[in-house]
Structure 1
Amino acid sequence: MNNPEGEREPESPGRERRPDGTWKERRLGPVVRRRGQVQPTTTDQRLLDTQGPTDWVHQDPWRVMRIQSEFVEGFGALAELGPAISVFGSARTPEGAADYDAGVRLGKALVGAGFCVITGGGPGAMEAANRGALEAGGVSVGLGIELPYEQGFNRYVDIGVNFRYFFVRKTMFVKYAQGFVVLPGGFGTLDELFEALTLVQTKKVTRFPIVLFGTEYWKGLVDWVHGTLVAQGKAAEKDLELFHLTDDVDEAVSLVTKESGGA
Structure 2
Amino acid sequence: MDGARRSTPDPEIENLADLDAVLSSGRPLTGLRFQDLDLTAYEDRLLARSDVEGLVVLGGRVSPALGAHLGAHHALVFPTDPHAPVDPYRASLYTAEELYAGLTDGGYESTPDFLAYQWMKDGALHHDAFVTLLRAIHDDSITDALDEFVGSRKVVGVMGGHALARGTTGYAAAAGLGRSLAAAGLVVATGGGPGAMEAANLGALARDESALETALEGLAVVPSFRPSVAAWVSTALAVRADLPRSDAPGSLGIPTWFYGHEPPNVFCDGIGKYFSNAIREDGLLARATAGLVVLEGAAGTVQEIFQAVTPLFYASPQARLAPLVLVGQEYWSETVPVWAAVRALGQERGMGSVTHLVETAEEATQIVLDRTDGGSAP
Alignment partners' CA distance in 2, 1:141 and 1:164: 17
Q: In the comparison of the two structures, how many residue pairs are matched?
A: 215
Residue 173 of structure 1 is matched in structure 2 by: 284
Please give the secondary structure, in 2, of the residue aligned with 1:114.
Answer: coil
TM-score, structure 2 length as denominator?
Answer: 0.49
Residue 254 of structure 1 is matched in structure 2 by: 366
8 Å contact 1:99–1:184 — kept in the other structure?
Answer: no
Shift of 1:170: 1.6
Please give the secondary structure, in 1, of the residue aligned with 2:204.
Answer: helix
Distance verdict in 2 for CA 1:203–1:58, change over 3 Å: farther
8 Å contact 1:90–1:125 — kept in the other structure?
Answer: yes
Give the one of 126, 134, 142 matched to 1:73: 142
Please give the secondary structure, in 1, of the residue aligned with 2:371.
Answer: helix
Aligned letter for 1:171? D
Shift of 1:194: 0.6
Shift of 1:66: 3.6
1:39-188 superposed matches below 5 A: 58-59=128-129, 63=132, 66-81=135-150, 82-136=153-207, 137=246, 139-147=250-258, 149-178=260-289, 179-188=291-300
Question: Which of 253-262 and 177-186 deviates more?
Answer: 253-262
8 Å contact 1:123–1:154 — kept in the other structure?
Answer: yes
8 Å contact 2:295–2:326 — kept in the other structure?
Answer: yes
Shift of 1:219: 1.9
8 Å contact 1:197–1:242 — kept in the other structure?
Answer: no
Distance verdict in 2 for CA 1:73–1:193, change over 3 Å: same
State the Cα RMSD in Å.
3.6
The higher radius of gyration belongs to 1
Shift of 1:155: 2.2
Alignment partners' CA distance in 2, 1:64 and 1:259: 41
Residue 303 of structure 2 is matched in structure 1 by: 191
Aligned letter for 1:134? L
8 Å contact 2:142–2:274 — kept in the other structure?
Answer: no
Give the one of 211, 217, 225 matched to 2:341: 225
Alignment partners' CA distance in 1, 2:312 and 2:346: 16
Shift of 1:74: 2.0
Deviations 1:189-224 (A, max 9, x none): 111111001111112885221111111211222564
Q: Does the alignment pair 1:210 with 2:321?
A: no
Alignment partners' CA distance in 1, 2:149 and 2:349: 38
Shift of 1:107: 0.5
8 Å contact 2:295–2:328 — kept in the other structure?
Answer: yes
TM-score, structure 1 length as denominator?
Answer: 0.68
Shift of 1:169: 0.6
8 Å contact 2:339–2:357 — kept in the other structure?
Answer: no
Alignment partners' CA distance in 2, 1:237 and 1:80: 34
Alignment partners' CA distance in 2, 1:57 and 1:127: 34
Alignment partners' CA distance in 2, 1:64 and 1:98: 44
Question: Which of 182-191 and 248-257 deviates more?
Answer: 248-257
Q: Which runs of 5+ in 1 are unaligned?
A: 1-28, 31-42, 49-53
What percentage of aligned pairs have identical amino acids?
27
Alignment partners' CA distance in 1, 2:315 and 2:362: 27
Distance verdict in 2 for CA 1:224–1:112, change over 3 Å: same
8 Å contact 2:162–2:195 — kept in the other structure?
Answer: yes
Residue 39 of structure 1 is matched in structure 2 by: none
Alignment partners' CA distance in 2, 1:207 and 1:71: 27
Aligned letter for 2:192? G
